[in-house]
Amino acid sequence: MKLDPETIQPLLEALARATDSISADVLAVEAGMPLVSWGSAPAAGVKGKDLTVMRDAIRAATAHVARDASADLFEDAETPGLTILATKVAYRDFRGSICLVRLDGRTYTSKDRELLLVSAQLCTAVMEAGEITDQHGRLDALVTYVAAELMGVTARDLAETLFRVISELGRYFGADTCFLRHNDPELQASVLVDEWPRRPDVPDPDPLGIVPWDTDDPIFSMIKDQREPFITRPSDGQLSYQERVRAGSGVPEVSLAMVPLIHDDTTSGVLGLIHFGDRIWTRAEVRALRAIASLLVQLDARVAAEESLHHHAYHDELTGLWNRRAFVEDLNAVLEADPRAPLAVLFADMDRLKTVNDVLGHTVGDNFIQAVAQRLRDSVRPHDVVARLAGDEFVIVLHDIGSISAAERAARRILDRVAEPLDVGGHAISRSASIGVVVNGDMPSTVDELLGNADVALLEAKERGGDSVVVFNDDLRSKLLVRADLELRLRTAIANNEMRLYFQPEFDLRDGRMTGVEALVRWQHPERGLLAADAFISVVEEINLSAELGRWVLEEACRQLATWKRTSPVPPPLVRVNISAGELISADFVGFVATLLSRYGLAPAELGIEITESTVMREIDDVQATLNGLRGLGVTLAIDDFGTGYSSLAQLKQLPVDILKIDRSFVSALAESSGDRAIVAAIVRLAEAFNLTTVAEGVEDPAAVTTLLDLGCYRAQGFFMSKPLPAQVVLEQARNPGVPLRMV
């Protein structure tokens, strides 16, 4: 505690003169010499041994008044010819006295005593004023220190820094406790962020931990909307607060200074300092606390922004799962630490999820993905990773997986869990999934290799028709080789007469009449037997053979229909041919079709062209002109695999089509799945609105037939009626379709 002599000395002089004293001194208990004095014993003739006696008497008087709380004034006339009058001066940690000394043997009057007491009060006031001016600089430095301390904080070291700051504040202000509380709107409560010093024995539950806003305690209920600094002292009568503090800390009475943290006009928390017993807070101190509170608010806002940026960068918004980046970085780190880490990477993909989106709407689709994400999360252990890479692609890392069979079992379990029907917005939706699995271990792998191999395994699972788990293995590696072989042999397959056309009839479900046949290509592979289109069509497209193969198929289909018309009493009224994107945009496709029709003497209405929905939508502008040309010829246009592409109503309106072929993934389980029924019903309504006819694919049982009739879809094909068959036998089927007739 510094004392400014320039201010105090005139006070002491005035006091000494008014009381006929030879000196007036301010002393600290522990100091040997007065801190400030006026007058002097030597000048008044007190010397040598007398001087020592006098000084001892002054010190004793000081000690007496400073230490004895009950003694405000102390007069000592023991020493002959020497009278001492002292009163205590206490301010903050300063303990001392003002002492007057008289040599004329008289005692001090009550008026003298009064003057001394007033002087002591003045002295305290001056000390406080002096401290304020003096502390201004230091308070600024404190605020600067806090600002510097908070400047570099990240979300990671936030807690630690906050504790350092509040401990510094507590120490600086000589407080017994410094605390930071946060307003939690969700809990409707004030929550203790941290405190200094941390209480060693916190009761459980901690009465100071989470305190609801609607408590009886006026101070805690005030915290919710506190706007201004708030100071309370034991004498203020905040009994319930004092009681709560007593319960939480065992301290009976405290003084409290609390400043609000205000962000965007709402009180986000409070910063508080507690002094055990009484304590006065100067305006400058409160101002400094406010400045620090606003630093904390800025910090909160900044850390929150950083956290949300970080969150966005590493999380998928829809599901809250990790995104690709987070997954890759994490797996990279794991493999770097241990290249042979016993883990499995699962690449999971929902079968036909797109349609849920397209037909039931994006909200239902989004909810479905969220529900699937939750199921995936629930079906693995907490330290396993689940991330969403895109759309309906998820990747899972199972840690500490000992063997391939363990990984496969886990994947199977996940698959079963995911496939259970879900209720999304009133729709029972179930979609199976496919999972490709790769197990790390034998050969150290990179993230890319693991993901790539898992992807190959996933493709294989999809090729098996979905709803399956495939583990990447040597077989798959060799399957890649088989694919290379297909590629090589396909180039000569047409010239070698290895291609065949099969036909699958399409029926009117109401009367069992055959309404057409669909031509489906087959390849009589010299070593591997008859291959269905699914086994090689994707390779055909990849190696740009689709235009060549497509011309062969179209011509063969037209030739076959012409043959039937010549030889059969009931030829099919129509042959439908599948056309790939590559064919559709090949040079003069429309002209080629026109040539074929006239070459085989067919009416345009006897030829149907099928284009998959995804082909149309992917290249709608290129395709549009060709479709218009075909429509001009009079051939029938059908959109194939409808429900799996991306078409919007606007786009559909733009296309000159006649038929929507409902994809078989919605039809095969029609009777059991209310979600599929909703989709088919929506497609039928859509078709009616656009004056289109619907044809269902993939009818596999009588229940599907009944349901289709109920939903208003009257045309269908599928294994239940007939598999695709060679031309020679397919018309037998036409005469005996086996369709359960229904009266309408």
Q: Which residues bind ligand C2E (CB under 6 A)?
A: 504, 520-521, 532-534, 537, 550, 553, 578-580, 640-641, 664, 697-700, 717-719, 724
On the CB side of 24, CA atoms within 13 Å amount to 23
Contact of residue 537 among Ca ion, ligand C2E, none (CB under 5-8 Å per partner type) = ligand C2E
Please report, as ranges, the residues that interact with Ca ion according to CB under 5 A: 578, 610, 640-641, 697
The sign one gets for the Cα dihedral 565, 568, 569, 572 is negative
Quick one: 404 or 533, whose CB is closer to ligand C2E?
Answer: 533
Quick one: 260 or 698, whose CB is closer to ligand C2E?
Answer: 698
Contact of residue 195 among Ca ion, ligand C2E, none (CB under 5-8 Å per partner type) = none
Q: How far is the CB of 488 from ligand C2E (least distance, A)?
A: 20
Q: How far is the CB of 408 from ligand C2E (least distance, A)?
A: 25
Q: How far is the CB of 463 from ligand C2E (least distance, A)?
A: 11
Contact of residue 533 among ligand C2E, Ca ion, none (CB under 5-8 Å per partner type) = ligand C2E
**Full DSSP string of 44-60:** GT--HHHHHHHHHHHHH
Distance, CA of 586 to CA of 573 (rounded, Å): 28
Nearest CA-CA partner of 656 in 696, 680, 628? 628
Q: How far is the CB of 678 from Ca ion (least distance, A)?
A: 20
Contact of residue 532 among ligand C2E, Ca ion, none (CB under 5-8 Å per partner type) = ligand C2E
Quick one: 223 or 638, whose CB is closer to ligand C2E?
Answer: 638
25 has which bridge partners?
37, 99
Q: How far is the CB of 322 from ligand C2E (least distance, A)?
A: 36
Going through 452-553 in order, the beta strands assigned E by DSSP cover 469-471, 499-508, 514-525, 529-531
Contact of residue 646 among Ca ion, ligand C2E, none (CB under 5-8 Å per partner type) = none
Distance, CA of 181 to CA of 508 (rounded, Å): 73
Q: How far is the CB of 521 from ligand C2E (least distance, A)?
A: 4
Helices then strands, counting H and E runs in the chain, come out as: 24, 28
| Buried-exposed string 322-361: b where 16+ CB fall within 10 A, e elsewhere | bbbebbbebbeebbeeeeebbbbbbbbbbbbbbbbbbbbe
Quick one: 25 or 518, whose CB is closer to Ca ion?
Answer: 518
Q: How far is the CB of 520 from Ca ion (least distance, A)?
A: 7
Contact of residue 553 among ligand C2E, Ca ion, none (CB under 5-8 Å per partner type) = ligand C2E
Give CA separation, 409 vs 78, 437, 470, 702, in Å: 101, 11, 11, 35
Contact of residue 504 among ligand C2E, Ca ion, none (CB under 5-8 Å per partner type) = ligand C2E
Quick one: 150 or 554, whose CB is closer to ligand C2E?
Answer: 554
Quick one: 96 or 550, whose CB is closer to ligand C2E?
Answer: 550
∠ CA 710-716-718, nearest 5°, is 120
Quick one: 19 or 560, whose CB is closer to Ca ion?
Answer: 560
Q: Coil, strand or helix: which one is 694?
A: strand
Contact of residue 698 among ligand C2E, Ca ion, none (CB under 5-8 Å per partner type) = ligand C2E
Quick one: 146 or 630, whose CB is closer to Ca ion?
Answer: 630
Distance, CA of 564 to CA of 734 (rounded, Å): 13
Distance, CA of 554 to CA of 12 (rounded, Å): 120
Q: How far is the CB of 576 from ligand C2E (least distance, A)?
A: 8
Contact of residue 460 among ligand C2E, Ca ion, none (CB under 5-8 Å per partner type) = none
Quick one: 238 or 580, whose CB is closer to ligand C2E?
Answer: 580
Quick one: 103 or 593, whose CB is closer to ligand C2E?
Answer: 593
Contact of residue 169 among Ca ion, ligand C2E, none (CB under 5-8 Å per partner type) = none
| Buried-exposed string 210-227: b where 16+ CB fall within 10 A, e elsewhere | ebebebebebbbbbbebe
**Contact yes or no for 430/349 (Cβ under 8 A):** no
**Contact yes or no for 725/517 (Cβ under 8 A):** no
Q: How far is the CB of 322 from Ca ion (least distance, A)?
A: 35
Q: Which two tokens stand for residue 114?
A: 């009064």
Quick one: 193 or 501, whose CB is closer to ligand C2E?
Answer: 501
Distance of CA 307 to the CA centre of its chain: 10
**Contact yes or no for 561/606 (Cβ under 8 A):** yes
Q: Which helix (H) or strand (E) holds 451?
A: helix 447-463
Distance, CA of 472 to CA of 159 (rounded, Å): 45
Contact of residue 521 among Ca ion, ligand C2E, none (CB under 5-8 Å per partner type) = ligand C2E
Q: How far is the CB of 592 from ligand C2E (least distance, A)?
A: 14
214 phi and psi, to 5 degrees?
Answer: -85, 40
Q: How far is the CB of 155 from ligand C2E (least distance, A)?
A: 51
